């Protein structure tokens, strides 16, 4: 479940920064970011959760059986919007994060993440538009835009969020769990594809 753990920690980092950003404008932060209206709904199901869990289990078994002294082997994982959103809703139901709604859209070359936080004194709403790159075999999140309600986010705030998120990614990179180096990330309509190779002892 490293992928889910890393994703939820990413969400938690946004939550902390959302609280800090309340100093910019409390009332406007409670409003829904304009980008939310352009996001499309995703069908949720228990079957999608099972599908992603099965993919991860099979990939872990495959990685565990690989001999690191042999030539590198290609490994791939494709995550759909239905799978990740169904998993997130399950986590929300378990109280993993202080939020009442989360939605992830995979678009052509970028992703959009919307959060309606359930902090008692500050039920703010955030949205992030970003993409994923690769650095030293691990995913690196690049923020294009960050929205805190309808608050005009100060210049440079995006970079601060991006730095924090990437620290979290480095600490919880799923490729470590799979003993692999990430080589390619593809974000297309409705899905995220990760491709890598197994680590080889030199």
pLDDT tens digits, 98-150: 789 999 999 999 999 999 988 777 788 889 898 988 888 888 888 888 888 88
To the nearest 10°, the Cα dihedral for 177, 194, 36, 101?
A: -30
Name the stretches of the chain with pLDDT < 70: 1-27, 29, 68, 152-178, 200-202
pLDDT at 47: 97
Q: How far apart are CA 92 and CA 52, in angstroms?
A: 17
pLDDT at 79: 93
- DSSP 8-state secondary structure symbol assigned to residue 151: B
Give me the phi and psi of 146, to 5 degrees please: -125, 130
Exposure pattern of 74-101 as b/e (b: 16+ CB <10 Å)? ebebebbbbbbbbbbbebbeeeebebee
Using only the alpha carbons of the chain, give its radius of gyration: 17
pLDDT at 98: 79
pLDDT at 171: 45
């Amino acid at each position: 479940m490293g992928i889910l753990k890393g994703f939820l920690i990413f969400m938690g980092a946004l939550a902390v920064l959302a609280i800090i950003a309340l100093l910019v404008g409390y009332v406007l932060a409670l409003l829904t970011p304009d980008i939310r209206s352009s996001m499309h709904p995703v069908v949720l199901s228990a079957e999608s959760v099972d599908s992603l869990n099965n993919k991860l289990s099979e990939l872990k078994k495959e990685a565990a059986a690989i001999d690191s002294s042999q030539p590198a082997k290609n490994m791939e994982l494709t995550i759909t919007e239905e799978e990740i959103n169904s998993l997130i809703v399950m986590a929300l139901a378990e109280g993993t994060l202080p939020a009442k709604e989360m939605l992830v859209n995979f678009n052509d070359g970028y992703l959009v993440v919307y959060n309606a936080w359930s902090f008692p004194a500050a039920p703010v709403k955030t949205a992030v538009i970003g993409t994923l790159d690769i650095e030293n075999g691990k995913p690196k999140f690049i923020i294009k835009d960050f929205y805190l309600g309808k608050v005009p986010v100060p210049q440079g705030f995006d970079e601060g969020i991006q730095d924090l998120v990437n620290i979290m990614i480095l600490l919880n990179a799923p490729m470590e769990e799979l003993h692999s180096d990430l080589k390619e990330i593809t974000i297309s309509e409705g899905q995220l594809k990760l491709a890598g190779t197994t680590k080889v002892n030199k």
